Structure 1
């Protein structure tokens, strides 16, 4: 993405060599399958050291990308001016070297100069010259080059108004640029840009950010978005019924009913919101609990009906409240149908995965509401209530960790071990494991008092991570809540931050080994947790 100088490195030559070998194997297989691989092209981003080699080069420094303190070790990247003759020269050399290394090309090259970087100048003329230079660099190395560009920048950055967008898209000869409408299932740019101002485009779906684990989807949008119209009212439903048979190997009426429920709930998000999993367990709030408001409304609680709706809402932009777009009571009904089908399907690995995932989903939303109850008790100065409810929250986290341990697909161990297996010595093993742990927790840089701006972006519901990281983090927050009530003083936000950041950094540097094989019975565990937390309860329905 050209947003950083580097992070988590430096990478040893052995890793680079491994990646080159892997890349060549991938390309061979892609060609064997009759597919067209996409190779990178020069985007204009250069290291600062280029100025030492070419003192007269026109180089501009771009802005900060999510670094806490604009640390010069990571921030901010440099862009070679499109008007500099060196731009096309490097672009040509880049393509030629790839052709020499790989031996062949499909003539398609990706390049995303401003994926999440705002251009230094908003002049359409400047943007047009940059686009033309990028393509000229490709074409000078491959006369048949086609530029494949992500359209994410147009949905991400308000900088891209029609004049700027049109200038970039029309800077390349027609037919030589193809745009990926990357987030079309939620925010289709083709429909607001006169179909990318005449440039060919491909309808895409992003659907998941950073590999978060959450049941979510917009099935109708995916089914009908590419063709813009429904050909039959039952198209999606027919697919759903067939899917459950294909997935589990047999037809079970209760499971088909469950998938019908899921189609109308978790896989029917139509509120237009960007779904990044912000469940409290995996994306714990970093705000003073006194400013998380409880607003009036109607809902039915996980226990008894009441006439108050608790909605997570923060007065600070540092807190993203959980996204809920469906009736949780209906999803619990789907879980009941899944459990009831266990005797027929428990031998199916995919059934066990889905059963755990659905149980996890229901319990995660229950945890969000339980957290609200803790906040409400805190704001009522009820120290005993905070203590009791927070203890139940932490018990729930521990129980969910045990649930996730029942399937290989929800284990932390394989993630860490796969990173370490690339190492050729102990120091590399430490480095690779640190990177693997960092990606799913802090993600990027932090100070002792300021967490990464991308913390929890790559959150995961994995056994081991809940028990050793998410649970202890929540426990620290609850400790400071109780201390605040007992002392009569305000919540010590800075102290909380220092302690949980230290917890995170210590965990990032940890070397403890986690299981790579599952342990436990998925059906028995799901049934037990359903009985313990969900059976006979009402639900929070927005």
Structure 2
């Protein structure tokens, strides 16, 4: 055995991954001294193990100290004026599941945990249970008394879940495309507070691949049409598209390599184990020219994009590339041995033969193993949900059983919608994670399966048929909406029994609004039975406003079917307005008031649209003019309402996109990416247009309203002249206009304008009575 090489490799990994200089420098120095002494081979072997033991001891101590130090820094970021009231202590290492303790002693709040995440979770538990505070993406309450409440008796909690997973490939674009370190730092703090310990970490992946392909002799010109623009990385990484939104500047790759280093350092310092990407076969078109003998599979995502090339896993080059990628990635970012790889994402394999699928997954895993013998494959189970016609029991079983059980973790990606584990024999013995998806495309709506989120994970955990359920997670396509669902879901981290929803909601209301206002308790009971009942539709309905103009009650990718009757939501609006009049005025309340008001008005758009449609068909020009004018006014009123909250502004999305550009051309490219993703998604003829629609101030007045205005002007002209409207010509015209909008450059406000409560009350007075009887 080459002990020198092995030992240096271990020290190098410690340095790269954890940046622990004390332990590794001591160990390296100690080992250098040993090598100067003339030992026998047998003695040298013994001394090697002594040195390794000392290194591990120092490493373990350094880990504990780093977790404590990072947790202390987190407390300072969250509570800068109260940080000295907390003392952080380390608990002994746990077997594989985290634990924390909280107690009061000598005027201090003692937070103990076996790592930084556990300590952060202890802090959030204290803030919620004793100080009645809350931290969400959409509203924060950190109103603390001068003297912090004491903890009457020691709190001790253990999690039943080894893994608490976070993020979806899509989240990195629908929400995170333009994030800088400041925004990432806040998110990592949020993750730690909520007990997340297994985040997907794919920022900067494009730079790794750039270096790999440069090592293989590819020129920049040969790679120019391969890398997508920044808003489309999620689908580029999954092999669905090449080049769209590019060409990608090298400056972006380098800046996001640096950003990923910071992200990983912080996540690991808190005790998280990030999941990094692995090779799944997607290669540039130029690969065929460079390697003419390579066995390539041509595939197409069928969403308006060109074919992509997948290197067959049976080709010897597959393992070579997989190994090179992981080695390069480890060199750049270190590793925690968890690797995300999804085969044939929303693409059907060329064969459903179980033997073929078994060989495929075996070779993909082998490619990981060659670079990292400790590699564990983390697979999104989305393919088993999205293409269940292909993935029947024999196919699923063959794909999974080819990999050892302890070398693969399955993500049941949308378990709240359809628990795939129930029809796959709990993933045939693999460890698996129960995830809530909830949001598709970043659409703005009030929606969720609240009862399911309160009970689903614990019911699965205690089900004798659930096999090796090892964790819970959040896999939404976008964040920064419906905060109640994510707070509820992560409540499971420290419990093994279903959540008593009404009791939990009372606590949520108290912490969010600093009030136990009975009107708000009633309002949330209505929300629980309406927008959050999640019974009859897969994901939240959008407003007809965000759809491409149509006579129908829904547009493509703009589903308007609700999971409740619209009038059933109105009493909740009444109660929120009443609570505002009673003086409730926290950040979370203002967000919720705007969001409930927005949902009511967004719902009202549909009957109002149908009224002018009926007037047009009845050739009633006067009525058409009245109701079409009201429809456009509603859009503007919604824009005004949403402008009072930064959560609903277009401006920050575009401004942060442009901020990454180093010159006018780069700024224009990033703005075009940002505009395109949330409107057309692709080119002027994209079949995915409106998939990622947003009800945002700026977008409503500058995109949706002008688009509807052109349609309504055409119809008004038709009524005046008696000519039949040329709908195919309009469709062609509006696609051209939309593409022109995508390519414009225009600044929008980045800060909210106006008063949320006053604006909501004004619109309530204007619309409440007419919404009651819209027809």
TM over 0.5: yes
Q: Out of 431-440 and 487-496, give the one that drifted further.
A: 487-496
Q: Hey, what does 1:306 align to over in structure 2?
A: none
Instruction: Name the counterpart of 2:676.
Output: 438
If you compute each CA radius of gyration, which structure gives the higher value, 1 or 2?
2
CA contact (8 A) 1:275 1:323 kept: no
CA distance in 2, matches of 1:509, 1:51: 33
Secondary structure (helix, strand or coil) at the match of 1:275 reads: coil
Q: Decide which of 452, 455, 458 is 1:227's aligned counterpart.
A: 458
Q: Is the 8 A contact 2:342 2:379 kept in 1?
A: yes
* Structure 1 stretches lacking a partner, 5+ long: 68-73, 293-311
CA separation of 1:384 and 1:540: change in aligned 2, threshold 3 A:
closer
Aligned ranges 1:37-436 → 2 under 5 Å = 37-67=274-304, 74-102=305-333, 104-157=334-387, 158-228=389-459, 235-271=500-536, 273-285=537-549, 287=550, 289=551, 292=552, 312=553, 318=556, 321-345=559-583, 347-436=585-674
- Counterpart CA distance in 2 for 1:408 and 1:192 is 43
Structure 2 unaligned residues grouped into runs of 5+: 1-237, 463-495
- Counterpart residue number, 2:247: 10
Q: Deviation of residue 539 (structure 1)?
A: 5.8
Counterpart CA distance in 2 for 1:116 and 1:232 is: 35
2:310 counterpart SS class? strand
CA distance in 1, matches of 2:772, 2:701: 27
d(CA) in 2 for partners of 1:284, 1:378: 18
Deviation digits for residues 244-284 of structure 1 (CA, Å, limit 9, x no counterpart): 1111223222112211111111111111x222543101123
- 2:266 matched residue in structure 1: 29
**Pairing 1:392-541 to 2, within 5 Å after superposition:** 392-446=630-684, 451-535=685-769, 537-538=771-772
Kindly state the Cα deviation for residue 206 of structure 1 after the two structures are TM-superposed.
0.9
Q: Is the 8 A contact 2:558 2:691 kept in 1?
A: no
Residue 479 of structure 1: CA displacement? 2.2
Q: Distance in 2 between matches of 1:187 and 1:323?
A: 20
Aligned partners of 1:403 and 1:526 also within 8 Å = yes
Q: How big is each residue's C-alpha offset from its partner over 1:17-66, in whole Å with a ceiling of 9 and x where there is no partner?
A: 11101111111111111111001000011112112222111111012430
Query: In 1, Cα distance between the equivalents of 2:583 and 2:303?
Result: 46
Distance across 1 between alignment mates of 2:654 and 2:707: 20
Aligned residues: 503
> Secondary structure of the residue that 2:546 maps to in structure 1?
coil
CA drift of 1:478 comes to 1.7
1:320, distance to aligned residue in structure 2 (A)? 5.1
Q: Is the 8 A contact 1:345 1:351 kept in 2?
A: no
CA distance in 1, matches of 2:621, 2:687: 31
Superposed CA offset, 1:372-423 (max 9, x none): 2222223333333222211110011011111111112111111111111111
TM-score when scaled to structure 2?
A: 0.62
Which structure is richer in relative contact order (CA contacts within 8 A, separation 6 or more)?
Answer: 1
Distance 1:151 1:434 in 2: 32
The question of whether the paired residues in 1 share the 8 Å contact of 2:520 and 2:579 is answered with yes
2:554/2:560 contact within 8 Å kept = no
1:540 is displaced (CA, Å) by 8.0
Q: Greater CA deviation, 132-141 or 186-195?
A: 186-195
CA RMSD of aligned residues (A): 2.1
The 8 Å contact of residues 557 and 690 in structure 2, kept in 1 or not, is answered as: no
CA contact (8 A) 1:182 1:206 kept: yes
Task: Check 1:267–1:433 CA distance in 2 against 1; reply closer, same or farther (3 A cut).
Answer: same
**CA offsets 1:130-183 (integer angstroms, 9 cap, x no match):** 111110000110001110011111111232222222221122112211111111
Q: Which moved more, 1:111-120 or 1:216-225?
A: 111-120
Taking structure 1 as the reference length, the TM-score comes to 0.88
Closer/same/farther in 2, CA of residues 205 and 232 from structure 1, 3 Å limit: closer
Deviation at 1:221, TM superposition (A): 0.7
Q: CA deviation at 1:514?
A: 0.7
